[in-house]
Structure 1
Amino acid sequence: MAGPCTRAGHLRAHLRDRDLSAARIASLADQNAQYRTIAAIGHSWGFVDATHFSKVFKQAYGLSPRSWRDLNRPPSPPPEGR
């Protein structure tokens, strides 16, 4: 049976992974949030430090949050009248 520290560590990791996934899907790829800073997006998902958010995001997904957003942003609609 795992001790309380191990369970707490697993819970923290699970919550961090859940928040990273939510930040990735809901915020970074959202066209309406394209002008929000990475720090603001991380903060909205509970990451107080932007550097920490970027570091754990890159460890989880292999790209920085900014790079991930640039690669996964939906295309902008064409200008009207064309």
Structure 2
Amino acid sequence: MGFIRDRRNSSTNTSPCADLRTAYHNCFNRWYSDKFLKGHWDKEECVSEWDKYKDCLSKHIDDKNLSRFLEAEGLNRIPAASSK
């Protein structure tokens, strides 16, 4: 036996950014299938949705004091500068 969570039911989703995430993903998927795959795209598509979602994530990451983990992780991923 196990717990199965229905991802389609937003009332069970406890993430404070869930609605913004859904809005961004819907916009991105619509842009990808309706425009990008047909060779037509605009760099400004879904920027508003992305900015709102990113701001929400940043706020909640800071609220839970998790930004230090992202900063440490980022430092580990920066490639060393190579001299030529």
Do both share a fold (TM > 0.5)? no
The answer to which structure has the higher helix fraction is 1
Q: Between Structure 1 and Structure 2, whose CA radius of gyration is higher? A: 2
Please report the TM-score for the alignment, with normalisation by the length of structure 1.
0.30
